């Protein structure tokens, strides 16, 4: 059964003094698997950050709720280049941070949290990285660790910003298989921002295209059909 998990109503998304998208209406139902597309600078990542509660809307409303009235837990996977660490954190310690949202004030992560972090690393096939320093990992390895960190928060809504950038084809395939499985087996709502249209075309069910400041939404098969994509890219380029 579908239920609205996140609803943006007439929302202006962006940064204080620098709105990026205006009057956005977007509803995400439970169990959806959606891709957000659009040209560089169109506001894909900004929209994702609003869905992740990182950037509150500058105007309009953002509602987050589960059927029982609780706010959904969110797993956010940033573009890995944004995480430029000086702290000598291991992969396991990065993943453990996903448990911090549920720990009460003053309680530190203990054995149970470490076990959960390890289980998530295993789930994503990265258990062997747990003792390695995060800054020393390759791009694909970092991506896996950041996805594991989001998963350990047991999210109702998983939001990924360019998860396939800079990863090899087999890692990209493994990531997409994992996302599809999470969505199918655990009914996790998944939204990913990506430029890799071909790779995700057969995985996502719906697509949102940011086109000339507006959101176009439809079934992935229609929205990502090559001729439709070419036409929008051409119009975006000319505009």
CA–CA dist 194, 178 (Å, integer): 16
H helices of the chain, where? 44-51, 91-96, 111-123, 139-152, 169-186, 197-200, 220-223, 226-238
Contact between 69 and other proteins per CB under 8 A: no
Contacting other proteins within 10-29 (CB under 8 A): 15-17
- Compute the least distance from the CB of residue 173 to other proteins, in Å: 26
Contact between 54 and other proteins per CB under 8 A: yes
What tokens does 90 get?
């291991």
Interacting stretch for other proteins, rule CB under 8 A, among 32-40, 96-104, 168-176, 226-234?
Answer: 96-104
For residue 23, how many other CB atoms are within 10 A of its CB? 15
Helix, strand or coil, per DSSP, at residue 70: coil
Helix, strand or coil, per DSSP, at residue 236: helix
Contact between 111 and other proteins per CB under 8 A: no
Among 85, 177, 212, 225, binds other proteins (CB under 8 A): 85
Q: What is the DSSP letter of 1?
A: -
- Compute the least distance from the CB of residue 160 to other proteins, in Å: 12
- Write out the residues near other proteins by the rule CB under 8 A: 15-17, 49, 52-54, 71, 74-76, 78, 82-83, 85-90, 93-94, 97-98, 100-101, 103, 105-109, 131, 133, 149, 153, 159
């Amino acid at each position: 059964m579908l239920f609205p998990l996140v609803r943006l109503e007439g929302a202006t998304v962006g940064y204080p003094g620098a709105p990026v998208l205006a009057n956005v209406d977007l509803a995400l139902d439970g169990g959806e698997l959606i891709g957000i597309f659009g040209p560089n600078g169109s506001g894909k990542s900004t929209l994702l950050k609003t869905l992740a509660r990182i950037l509150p809307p500058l105007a309009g409303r953002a509602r987050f709720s589960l059927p029982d009235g609780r706010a959904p837990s969110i797993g956010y996977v940033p573009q890995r280049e944004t995480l430029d660490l000086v702290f000598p954190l291991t992969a396991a310690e990065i993943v453990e941070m996903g448990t911090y949202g549920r720990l009460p004030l003053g309680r530190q992560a203990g054995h149970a949290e470490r076990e959960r972090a390890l289980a998530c690393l295993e789930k994503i096939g990265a258990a062997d990285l747990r003792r390695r320093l995060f800054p020393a990992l390759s791009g694909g390895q970092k991506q896996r660790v950041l996805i594991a960190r989001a998963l350990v928060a047991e999210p109702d809504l998983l939001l990924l910003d360019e998860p396939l950038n800079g990863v090899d084809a087999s890692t990209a395939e493994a990531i997409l298989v994992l996302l599809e499985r999470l969505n199918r087996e655990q009914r996790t709502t998944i939204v990913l921002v990506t430029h890799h249209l071909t790779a995700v075309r057969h995985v996502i069910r719906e697509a949102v295209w940011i086109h000339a400041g507006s959101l176009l939404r439809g079934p992935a098969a229609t929205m990502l059909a090559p001729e439709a994509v070419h036409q929008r890219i051409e119009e975006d380029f000319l505009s």
